[in-house]
Amino acid sequence: MEYKQGDTVLEGFLAYDGAGPAKKPGVLVVHDWLGVTADTRKRAEQLARMGYVAFAADIYGKGVRPASGKEAGPLAGSYKKDRNLLRARVVAGFDELARQPTWRRTGSPPSATASAARP
């Protein structure tokens, strides 16, 4: 799903299970250095099955997906150097999660499975 941080279009991934309570606690998922990948989406879907609304935030921007570690290194490094931009992208992801009608601001996980999985 598309959302923005400033003028930059980002493309995150939202996962939730329609069963159970209408509003669920949320988890913000931040991708590894390869960006939002199939693995990132899989993790969000796992969290959704545990009773959360999971939003995988996009730090890099829509369509910016390194094909290898060689490409990812400099890109990820640019965000390590610019912590303000990294923070702004994470906050934009959280804000998008908070806009979801299925998200609940506070409360404990809706199931024993989710509780057991928490550290």
Short-list 114, 117, 110, 113, CA closest to 18: 110
Output the pTM of the full model: 0.85
For the ranges 17-21, 24-28, 53-57, 114-118, the lowest mean pLDDT is seen at 114-118
What per-residue confidence (pLDDT) applies to 104?
85
> Is pLDDT of 116 > 80?
no
Residue 114, pLDDT score: 40
The residues pairing with 29 across neighbouring beta strands, listed in sequence order, are 56
Under 8 Å between Cβ of 114 and 50: yes
Mean pLDDT confidence for 71-94: 96
The shares of helix, strand and coil residues in the chain, as percent rounded to the nearest 5, are 40, 20, 40
Compute the mean pLDDT over every residue in the chain, rounded to the nearest whole number. Answer: 89
The Cα 106–Cα 117 span in angstroms is 18
Give pLDDT, residue 105: 76
Q: Which of 4, 14, 5, 3 is nearest to 102 (CA)?
A: 14
- What average pLDDT does range 63-78 have in this prediction? 95
Q: What is the pLDDT of residue 5?
A: 97
pLDDT per position as a tens digit, 14-43: 999 988 888 999 999 999 999 999 999 999
Quote the pLDDT of residue 21: 84
Written as one string, the DSSP assignment of 2-69 is: EEEETTEEEE-EEE--SSS-SSEEEEEEE--TT-S-HHHHHHHHHHHHTT-EEEEE-SS-TT---SSH
Conformational region of residue 41, where left means phi above 0, alpha means psi within -120 to 50, and beta covers everything else = alpha
What pLDDT is stored for residue 93 in this prediction? 97
